Each structure stands twice: as structure tokens, then as C-alpha cells.
Amino acid sequence: MTCLVDDTYAEAFRSISAEVLVTARDRYWLEQAASAATGHASSTIFCDCEAGIDRFIGPGGDESIETPDGRPGVVLQFHVPRFVKNRERHLEKTLLHRLSQNILTCPTTRCFNLLQTDNFFKLGRKIALFGDGFQFRDQRYDRSVWVIPIMGGEFVLDRRFGFRDSLMGGNLWFMGETEDAAIEATQNALQAVHATPGVITPFPGGIAASGSKAGSRYSFLIASTNEPFCPTLREQLGDRCQLPDGVSCVMEIIINGHDLETVTRATHAGIAAAVETPGLARISAGNYGGRLGKNFVYLRPETAAAHRQEQMA
């Protein structure tokens, strides 16, 4: 039975992001590098960025896209909200730390830039200082790179890494009659979201079990548990509870990506893949009336189309 999809929107906000291509000798080391480089990057509430795997390319991935060195590759995205103070410096520092400590250190890896933008960081030169004077510039794979001698051989990375305006905070809520139903629906949606190029789902396994609201009764917290949607607080909250009857579990997907169109496309693909999951009662999304972001990802395609027509009129 098809569940109800609320006629609402996810409230997304602007970010700046970098896209990095990592290659390795095989899928095992590629996954190790990707996991390490995107670790502790679920939420900007307490992480330095939000990061995740966009897609695998080359041998063993999307083979229609070749990597510079012909090896298996993975595309990683790293997002920092535009409201972060000194956001460009913050993103550069984040990339410097994560690429040097988690890609350089991983056996057989190389690191390439994917964004040919006017805005860029000279990360290659900074990371190359690890070579302690033995590093050198070279032309390899038809690219300008730095080469760092390491105990495992050589580490090669591009000289420049671009960044661009992007989007964070697209989201979907899957309300299940049981925990199993909520998780199954969310996993069904994730498969479709991950098949959409240009997006990431930064939380563990792509799922957030602890969806939050903006603000808190504690002044030092910028976000806290979204209590109107916590099943165990139904009786305690009374009329303040906003959960539909029969819902015992809510799982969330956060979607970051290139732009509003890309995040919207991934959102609609996820809904279509999950909507007929047995035991799924409702699909919804989180928004705060425009207080968090000004980019609205409408869950129903017809509503999205209507708003596009309004904007064009």
C-alpha cells in the first residue's frame, strides 16, 4: 500500500563545497581512504564539515567516466555552510587536514581536483611540504601535480583544488509503524539517492536516527532533539506531539549536493523508491519556516512545478 507523502518541503541552506577524486590500486584501499577522509563529518553542529561519497567511477564503478590514472576512483564532497565565519579559510583548513591525514597516509592513493573553478585553494603546495624539501612539481596524467616521496613510494596530488557554491540540508523523514519498516524504507530511498550523481548523504550509513530542530532550551546548543516527533514522548507531550497515530519510529536522510535542482532530483528519486515499503505510514521533511535556509525542496513534484511557474511569472 502506498503511504502518504506530505505536501511540504525540506528547508535547505547554502554552502561552499569542494569535490575531490581519490584513486587507488583497488576498491578495498579506495573505500578505506574514503571512509577515513569523510569520517566525523555527519553534521556541522559539531563537525568541521559535512562530507560523504558522491559516487565511484572508473573500473568497478561508473566506467563511463575515466579517472586520470585509469584506476578505480571515488568522488568525495566536503561542505561548509555559508553562514560559517571565514568559510573559505575554514573549508581550506578542513581539506588540508583531511587530505593530508587520511588520503596521503592511505596505501596506493592519489588525489585529484574535480572543480575547474575561478576559486581554488593551493592545497597541493601545502600538503607537499610533508616531503621536507624532496617534493617536486611534475606533469603526470596530463595534469600539473606535486609529487611527494613517501615510504610507500610516491604520493601524487593536484596543485589546485577548486570550490563552488552548493546546497546543504535537503532532508526526508520516513515514518514507520515499526523500527524495521522505517529503516527498510530509508534504505530503499538511499539506493535511489545514491544513484543520483552530485549528492551525498553525510550521516552514518546515510541515515540520521536523531533528527534535530534548530535551537535549544540550553543557550550553548544550536540544535537539539526534535521532541514533537519523538515516539517515546507521545504521552508526555500530549497535544504538542506531531506524530501521526501508529508511528513508532522516524528515520531521516540528509541530502547535500551541487544545487537545488540536483538535491530535488535526488529527493524525488528517494521518495519514489520508498513510498510502497510495507509498514511505512508517511513521508515528510523538516523545515523551520525559512529561518534556517531560503531554498525549499518540495516533496511533491507538482508542488515544485507550481512554485517554479510562480517564480517565472
Please provide the DSSP assignment of 72-134 as one string: -EEEEEEEEETTSTTHHHHHHHHHHHHIIIIITTSTT-EEEE----S-EE-HHHHHHGGGTT-
pLDDT-derived band at 303, boundaries 50, 70, 90: confident
For residue 287, what pLDDT is reported? 86
CB atoms within 10 A of CB 299: 22
Question: What does pTM read for this prediction?
Answer: 0.95
pLDDT of residue 212: 92
Q: Rounded to a whole number, what is the distance in angstroms from the first to the last CA of the chain? A: 38
Mean pLDDT of 199-221: 95
Q: What is the mean pLDDT of the chain?
A: 95
Nearest of 91, 229, 52, 69 to residue 145 by alpha carbon = 69
Give mean pLDDT, residues 137-159: 98
Question: What is the per-residue pLDDT across 155-181, written as a single tens digit (0 to 9) for each?
Answer: 999 999 999 999 999 999 999 999 999
Residue 210 DSSP symbol: S
Report which of 90, 152, 100, 89 is spatially closest to residue 126, judged by C-alpha positions: 100
pLDDT given for residue 1 in this prediction: 64
pLDDT tens for each residue of 59-93: 999 999 999 999 999 999 999 999 999 999 999 99
How far is the C-alpha of 250 from the C-alpha of 260, rounded, in Å?
24
| Predicted local confidence at residue 173, as pLDDT | 98
Instruction: Report whether pLDDT(203) > 90.
Output: yes
What is the pLDDT, as a whole number, of residue 313?
A: 61
Supply the pLDDT for residue 240: 96
**Domains (range + CATH), the chain:** 4-11+166-312 (3.30.70.520), 15-164 (3.30.70.520)
The whole-number pLDDT of residue 272 equals 97
Q: Does the structure show a pLDDT above 70 at 311?
A: no
- Checking if the pLDDT of 310 tops 80, the result is no
